[in-house]
Each structure stands twice: as structure tokens, then as C-alpha cells.
């Protein structure tokens, strides 16, 4: 993991900080694991814009990622560590003993040639996937399931990790990246280690055009809109716009929108940090 600060030979490079990509081993993806990825431009099936600030961007192909890690007991060798344009984390191409190839989310410290395994017989080493019941307390984990067999849904982005705090009955207590402490079934799978590319947060875009390459169109400040466009629009001069709120009037900055009757409330021991 490293970052590079560019020499400012152009104005757009003056503050640019780029990834060193020192852990990446190839720039050619595995063709059998690619799928087409269509852009919507923020428009629905009638061609009407339903989401603002989306459009343009470089063409991408989707890399099919194995979030379930359901090939239990079969060892897999890491062939390459690759960049994935669809996510902040790096991915690893693994080849199983039976010849099947799959992409998995790469953890920090995962090396080419390393053997990883999932399922009951796995040891708590970096890159191995196992049920929470078999992971020792205090272990740093990532790519966590919420329901058995669902596939990883939590702690999947660059540098993310959670911590296994306790086990009681059929539930494990896990401290999530947001700071929330939650109960998760012991039969759910998780991967050992921190997600790769933890330096992602240090990158600096350098210029507005780079946002356009990523498919993000310019975003207008709500206070600068007219009253017809936003509750915070209008007023004489630079008026502050009243209380911060969304376009449909829901207050921001501390207003709780989570339902008090939500079924999963009983699994949350401690809410995330404000």
C-alpha cells in the first residue's frame, strides 16, 4: 500500500495524489469472469431523469465477485491481485484445486501464490472465510454476511474491517466499521483480515474532470437553487437557506429517519457514532 504525489507539470496535477498500485500484479482481467455493465445516466425505463448528477464516465465491465465463498474445504491459490473499476477495494483471482477460477475481495497482506480456503476446516489466517462460530474472539474480520448463505454485504470497501467482540447463544456480537455494535448469527460467514487498498482515503482527485470520468455530473448547491427546486432555495442575496433538509423536506444533521418498529432494531446493541 502506497500513494504517489505527482509533480505539478499541469494545473490538474498540482494537488493530485494517486495510488501507487504496488500490490497490483496484472492489468488484464480474467475474461470468463467479466460481465457487461450498462449505464442508465440516471434515467428510468421511460427515459426520464429520476436521479440527478449521474451521466457520462468511462466504459466499464463488471467483475463477477464470489461473495458467498461457498466452495468449502477446497484450497485455492491466489494467481493475481487486480484493480476493479467497480469498487474501491482490490480483487484477487483465485484458482481452486479443481481448476475453477473465481474473483474474491482481496485482504491486506494477501500475496500471489498464497493458498486460501473457506468452510469448516479453515484456519483463522488472512483471506480464509469461515463461520463466525469458528473465528476466535477479537479477530479482525471483513466481508460479513447478515443472513447465512446470503453472501457478504458488510465491511467490503477499501480499508474496512469489523471486530468479533463476543459470542452468546446462537449470536455473535460484532463491532462494525460505522461504530455500530450488532448481533449476527454464528452461522454467517466472514473473511479474516482487513480489506485491501486502505490508502484509498488518502487519494486526491486533483481536478473536476476526474469526477466526470467516474460518471459524476456537477451538483448544484441547494441554497443556490430557486424556491421551486428546493426547500432551501430562494431568498435575497446569500441567505443561509434555513434548516438543512433534503429536496422533499426531510431534515438532515441529526434527524432520525430510521423506523422505531424496524424488525432489525432488536439486533442492534449500540447505535453508530454520530
Q: How far apart are CA 16 and CA 2, in angstroms?
A: 14
Residue 241: predicted pLDDT: 74
- Domain 3-43+56-201+263-270 falls in which CATH fold? OB fold (Dihydrolipoamide Acetyltransferase, E2P) (2.40.50)
Q: Model confidence over 106-142: pLDDT tens digits?
A: 999 999 999 999 999 899 999 999 999 999 999 999 9
Q: How far apart are CA 146 and CA 258, in angstroms?
A: 18
Residue 240: predicted pLDDT: 78
Residue 121: predicted pLDDT: 87
Residues 6+ apart with CB under 8 A from 265: 258
Coil, strand, or helix at residue 199? helix
- How many CA atoms lie less than 13 Å away from 67 in the CB half-sphere? 18
Domain ranges of the chain: 3-43+56-201+263-270
Q: Which of 86, 91, 108, 98 is nearest to 36 (CA)?
A: 86
DSSP-assigned beta bridge partners for residue 101: 95
Backbone angles phi, psi at 25, to 5 degrees: -110, -15
Task: Give the DSSP per-residue string, 215-243.
Answer: TB-----GGGS-TTT-TT---SSS---SS
| 181 sits in which H/E element | strand 181-185
* Sign, CA torsion 204/208/209/214: positive
Q: Is the pLDDT of residue 239 over 90?
A: no
Residue 172 Ramachandran class (φ > 0 left, ψ -120 to 50 alpha, else beta):
beta
Residue 88: predicted pLDDT: 97
2-11: which pairs have CB atoms within 8 A and are 24 or more residues apart? 2/199, 3/199, 3/202, 3/203, 6/206, 11/207
Locate cell 461457498: which residue?
A: 70
Q: Is the pLDDT of residue 4 over 70?
A: yes
Sort strands 61-63 and 34-36 into parallel, antiparallel or unpaired: antiparallel
Q: Is the pLDDT of residue 264 over 90?
A: yes
Q: Model confidence over 240-253: pLDDT tens digits?
A: 778 999 999 999 99
Amino acid at each position: 500500500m502506497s500513494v504517489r504525489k505527482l509533480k505539478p507539470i499541469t494545473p490538474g496535477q498540482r494537488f493530485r495524489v494517486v495510488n501507487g498500485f504496488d500490490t497490483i500484479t496484472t492489468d488484464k482481467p480474467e475474461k470468463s469472469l467479466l460481465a457487461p455493465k450498462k449505464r442508465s445516466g440516471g434515467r428510468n425505463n421511460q427515459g426520464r431523469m429520476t436521479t440527478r448528477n449521474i451521466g457520462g464516465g468511462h466504459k466499464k465491465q463488471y467483475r463477477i465477485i464470489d461473495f458467498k465463498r461457498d466452495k468449502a474445504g477446497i484450497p485455492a491459490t491466489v494467481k493475481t491481485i487486480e484493480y476493479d473499476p467497480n469498487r474501491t477495494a482490490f480483487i484477487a483471482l483465485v484458482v481452486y484445486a479443481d481448476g475453477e477460477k473465481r474473483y474474491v475481495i482481496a485482504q491486506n497482506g494477501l500475496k500471489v501464490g498464497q493458498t486460501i480456503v473457506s468452510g469448516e476446516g479453515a484456519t483463522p489466517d488472512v483471506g480464509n472465510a469461515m463461520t463466525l462460530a469458528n473465528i476466535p474472539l477479537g479477530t479482525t474480520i471483513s466481508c460479513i454476511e447478515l443472513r447465512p448463505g446470503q453472501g457478504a454485504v458488510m465491511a467490503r470497501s477499501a480499508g474496512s474491517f469489523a471486530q468479533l467482540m463476543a459470542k452468546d447463544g446462537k449470536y455473535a456480537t460484532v463491532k462494525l466499521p460505522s461504530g455500530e455494535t450488532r448481533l449476527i448469527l454464528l452461522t454467517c460467514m466472514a473473511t479474516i483480515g482487513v480489506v485491501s487498498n486502505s490508502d484509498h482515503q488518502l487519494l486526491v482527485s486533483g481536478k473536476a474532470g476526474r469526477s466526470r470520468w467516474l460518471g459524476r455530473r456537477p451538483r448544484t448547491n441547494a441554497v443556490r437553487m430557486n424556491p421551486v427546486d428546493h426547500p432551501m432555495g430562494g431568498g435575497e442575496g446569500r441567505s443561509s437557506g434555513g434548516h438543512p433538509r433534503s429536496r422533499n423536506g426531510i431534515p438532515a444533521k441529526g434527524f432520525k429517519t430510521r423506523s422505531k418498529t424496524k424488525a432489525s432494531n432488536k439486533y442492534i446493541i449500540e447505535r453508530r457514532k454520530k
